[in-house]
Amino acid sequence: MLSTQEKMKDHMLADHGLRKTAFRKEVLSIFLANKGKAVTTASIEDSLKDFDRITLYRTLKSFEEKGLIHLAMDINGQSRYALCDHNCSVDKHQDTHAHFHCDSCGHTTCLDEMHESYEALVPQGYKIKDVQITFSGVCQSCS
């Protein structure tokens, strides 16, 4: 019998047109454990027992292409990845939200509620496709 977590992972991969492999599921588990938080490739590597760097790179790339995870730059310009919410699909990402990087604990959090308002910031006729905005400061648990 598959656990609920296992079933969820199977569904998530299938919904995004990804074949399920043990490795993809392992990487997905890390994102599920860090829901709402963006993690660095280094911390993903730390969480994996046994892995091949090329395979991990390809896995992250395919997750990103298929709308399962999105890129979030932290304040140091280091790239991180976070799980997309269900609005993202194989065809398009809808992650035009900002991120918050805590200088104290180093966590980068998705600010999911902040999006639509960006349309008001650009001149009329301009169309936003992607947003990379990262605030830095101190998060709730550190302040």
CA dist 5 and 12 (Å) reads 10
Stretch that binds Zn ion, among 3-11, 18-26, 45-53, 80-88 (CB under 5 A): 80-88
Output the furthest CA–CA distance in the chain (Å, rounded): 54
110 is an interface residue for Zn ion by CB under 5 A? yes
87 phi and psi, to 5 degrees? -75, -20
Among 5, 21, 79, 104, binds Zn ion (CB under 5 A): 104
Q: Which is nearer to Zn ion, 60 or 72 (CB)?
A: 72
Which amino acid makes up residue 46? D
| Contact status: 60 vs Zn ion (CB under 5 A) | no
Residue 66 binding Zn ion, by CB under 5 A? no
Three-state DSSP at 110 gives strand
Opening angle at CA 72, ends 84 and 92, nearest 5: 40
Residue of 13, 83, 98, 102 interacting with Zn ion (CB under 5 A): 102
Give the interface with Zn ion as residue ranges (CB under 5 A). Answer: 67, 70, 72, 82, 84, 88, 93, 95, 102, 104-105, 110, 139, 142
